[in-house]
Structure 1
Amino acid sequence: MKDIILKAENISKQYRLGQVGTGTLSHDFNRWWHKIRGKEDPYLKVGDTNDRSTKGTSDYVWALQDINFEVERGEVLGIIGKNGAGKSTLLKILSKVTAPTTGSIKSRGRIASLLEVGTGFNGEMTGRENIFLNGAILGMTKKEITSKLDEIIEFSGCERYIDTPVKRYSSGMTVRLAFAVAAFLEPEVLVVDEVLAVGDAEFQKKAIGKMQDISRGEGRTVLFVSHNMAAVRSLCTKGMVLINGKVAMTGSVENTVSYYLSHGSESMNKKVFSSEYDKKEFTIHEISLNAVGKLSEDPLDEYQKIDINTLFTLKDDSRKLHLTFVLNNDFGEALFTFSHVNGDLKLNKGLNKIKCSLPEGFLNIGTYYLSLYVIEDSKATIFVEKDIISFIIQEGERPLGSWMGREPGFIKPKFDWSIEVN
């Protein structure tokens, strides 16, 4: 028998775009008129898909559509997706901050939420007063809160400022205290949005460790939203991918992270070209990337040796052609240029399988874009395609307690180091 503690059934959330209040009275009257006649809300039949990158035709947008899932006691569900996919909207509905347009949430026990920095805190009240306020909102007695007070303050690391108004806290201090309150007041379900990124490495280690204790040791349930795939992998037991307000996939955390990085994103590790890349002098067939020993469908991470493969047919070997690649970051800045001529290799007539291997751990976490130039006689560009293929380097496996996230810079060269002790 499954011990289901949280169940979402047909959850949808519709928002009206534009300035709030413009024309809403007529819409409200129309809804009321349909309701008293026993008819369906007319605005449920309209609305665009939640795709922030495209211009829609309707004033209404579905932030979420037909979301169904269930969570067992003790599970840690990682909810992942691009910005605007509907993750935070779903958590607000689960936390009862906002109501769904359609559908229902069934839960057993208290739900504590950590949605945004300072959510639920009164800036004019001290940290200590806010602990009691949040505990009361969760339905706890003053005696219960008092018994946990010292643990909460110690975990937050804000003891020196606990009797100072929260409006004078930094964002990191506010998150520390808010997380401590949410975690130590023993909710049956803990809902955590992308707030851990505000904290420093020490706080990330403590917070993730505490969430593991809550789920594994105390058998409580955690819903965790993050763009940090290393944190999702180390913490979660199950994953769910949201794309444009709909559930694209649920399953094991490894499968869902791989799906998100390879399918649910705007990048890809392999591109097969159409006939428009069949030129008089050459044909570009395919460009792909893969970690050594893996397929192009597998995600790439920061610690792997990566091969860049190009299938290229040279039709006339009297034409002295070579390929040059430029690697750009997601700001469009060129990081470096590389070409097979630097390795004293030349193209031969017929099909050439060109492979360039990037050293292990060379690229940092992030999204990258390759531009391709076909050069003749080392001086004339006869073909160029900007951003011909894009790919993502994700977080690799890191020990719990190490820094989770992206370090500064775009490449991670391995230098030779030595230390002499006198």
Structure 2
Amino acid sequence: MSETVIEIENLYKMYRLGVIGTGSFKQDLQRWWTANVLRKEDPFFQVNHECQHKALPDTIMALQDINLEVKHGEAIGIIGKNGSGKSTLLKIISRIVRPTHGVVRGKGKVSSLLEVGTGFHQELTGRENIYISGYILGMSKPEIKRKFDEIVAFSGVEQFIDTPVKRYSSGMYVRLAFAVAAHLEPDILIVDEVLAVGDADFQKKCLGKMREVSQAEGRTILFVSHSMQAIKNLCDKAVWLNQGKMQAFGPSTTVVNKYLTSTQDAHLLQVWQTPDEAPGNDLVRMRSVELEPQLATPDAPLDIRTPLTVRVQFWNMQEEAVLSIGLHLFTAGGECIFDLPSPAVTCAKGLVEGECTIPGNFLNDGSYYISVIIVRDTSISLYYHEECLRFELEDYRENIQWYGKWWGAVRPQFPIQLRQAEIMIPQEGI
């Protein structure tokens, strides 16, 4: 059974708003003496244990009652919205920030990639900064020398290695900084949003290095990312934080699905009971518009594989009319993906309905909305119901090790044939 390398018990972190210190020199001195010399609880800055789940006036609880065990060799993903406490948790584990209450126990050498560029000096060259930053991050001089060529090759800035970093572009700067940090050899590696570093090609390198550290070398990793695909592929388990509280901990796919389901911004149904209250005009009035995802399981999130059935009902106020509907699908930015008309049908006065299914593996991940238009005689617009349905599709990839943004508005699975055309046979003597 794997040994526990990180153990967190009843962890709380409280921040005061708008004030640094207690407000007086005497109290600041008393606070320092009590906390650092007498080793007692901070008398001016502590959790009210009788109501631990509530922040005191002028304070905010960044973390509340976090309990977690991490085993040797595990890769743990930490997910949640901005401000949920992810970076605070990593800083406490890294011993950068002290908890207000609770205990964090660790076993082994810890290295943190929280602030890319630690130790870099603008006036020094890339070569000099590699040595300084590497030393600050915990590498010895012989270790830096041994890995120097590998670090430079990984960063891709060989041509500029003897140029002061103040002349680097922002992308070159973070590439070199991450290259140094990526070649540490800790027992526990803590990484905060590595996917924000560099361009698409360099992100691929970063993720490859993460995979090498976690899978090939068997080190323990705590990994914060907003890329759910990277979390599912690189991490065994995941922690979901929400407003400082741990919402879920378990297998990464299960936790990610719960998180995505809770955060997806969807507006999937509109219904009106009578024509008098429904949008429209004297010719047609809406009865309902609905988007029904055909999910594999009830708790599954909407992703690119999910077929989406659109149903439209409207009241026709005309005795005889040749009617059709059109579905207009747009990205959140207003780019039209398709304009899909229905066949024209002669309709009597009464309720008319239509249905269409957008197949899975057609749309790319992203946010979308649908507008519905009702047309007479295939040319006369009777009513246009704008942005009546809104939904968001998450990414999904299988057997693909690229986690950057997938290009294109659509993402169909057209069959592509790939086969061996011929085999090169080496000739003797070559």
Normalising by the smaller structure, the TM-score range is 0.7 to 0.9
Residues 167 and 227 of structure 1, relative CA distance in 2, 3 Å threshold = same
Give 1:255 deviation, angstroms: 0.8
SS of 2:342's equivalent in the other structure is: helix
CA contact (8 A) 2:46 2:101 kept: no
Residues 30 and 140 of structure 1, relative CA distance in 2, 3 Å threshold = closer
Residues 67 and 181 of structure 1, relative CA distance in 2, 3 Å threshold = same
Identity of aligned residues (%): 41
What is the TM-score of this pair, normalised by structure 2?
A: 0.75
Partner of 1:195: 194
The range that moved more, 186-195 or 343-352, is 343-352
CA contact (8 A) 2:76 2:236 kept: yes
AA of the residue aligned to 2:309: I
Please list the CA deviations of residues 337-389 of structure 1 after superposition, one character each: whole Å capped at 9, or x if unmatched: 767x624468899998853222444322222344667899975559x6x7655
CA–CA separation in structure 2 for the residues paired with 1:389 and 1:375: 19
Partner of 2:163: 164
Partner of residue 274 from structure 2, selected from 274, 279, 282? 279
Residues 294 and 144 of structure 1, relative CA distance in 2, 3 Å threshold = same
SS of 2:265's equivalent in the other structure is: coil
CA–CA separation in structure 1 for the residues paired with 2:28 and 2:52: 16
Partner of 2:293: 290
The range that moved more, 360-369 or 247-256, is 360-369
CA contact (8 A) 1:117 1:174 kept: no
Partner of 2:15: 15
Partner of 1:173: 172
Equivalence map 1:247-286=2 (5 Å):
247-263=246-262, 265-268=263-266, 277-280=272-275
Give 1:67 deviation, angstroms: 1.9
SS of 2:181's equivalent in the other structure is: helix
Runs of 5+ unmatched residues, structure 2:
279-285, 417-430
The range that moved more, 39-48 or 128-137, is 39-48
Please list the CA deviations of residues 158-199 of structure 1 after superposition, one character each: whole Å capped at 9, or x if unmatched: 222223333333333233323332232201111222232332
CA–CA separation in structure 2 for the residues paired with 1:187 and 1:347: 72
CA contact (8 A) 1:289 1:296 kept: no
AA of the residue aligned to 1:218: E
Runs of 5+ unmatched residues, structure 1:
51-56, 418-422
CA contact (8 A) 2:229 2:395 kept: yes
CA contact (8 A) 1:262 1:268 kept: no
Verify: 1:71 aligned to 2:74, yes or no: no
CA RMSD after TM alignment: 4.3
Partner of 2:226: 227
Partner of 2:308: 307
The total of aligned residue pairs comes to 398
What is the TM-score of this pair, normalised by structure 1?
A: 0.76
Give 1:262 deviation, angstroms: 0.8
AA of the residue aligned to 1:287: E
CA contact (8 A) 2:320 2:349 kept: no
AA of the residue aligned to 1:2: S
Equivalence map 1:15-414=2 (5 Å):
15-18=15-18, 25=23, 29=27, 41=44, 44-45=47-48, 59-263=58-262, 265-268=263-266, 277-280=272-275, 287-291=290-294, 294-295=296-297, 297-302=299-304, 304=305, 306-310=307-311, 327-331=329-333, 333=334, 335=336, 342-344=342-344, 354-370=354-370, 379=381, 381=383, 389-397=389-397, 399-402=399-402, 404-407=404-407, 410-412=409-411
AA of the residue aligned to 1:228: S
CA contact (8 A) 1:305 1:357 kept: no
Residues 155 and 14 of structure 1, relative CA distance in 2, 3 Å threshold = same
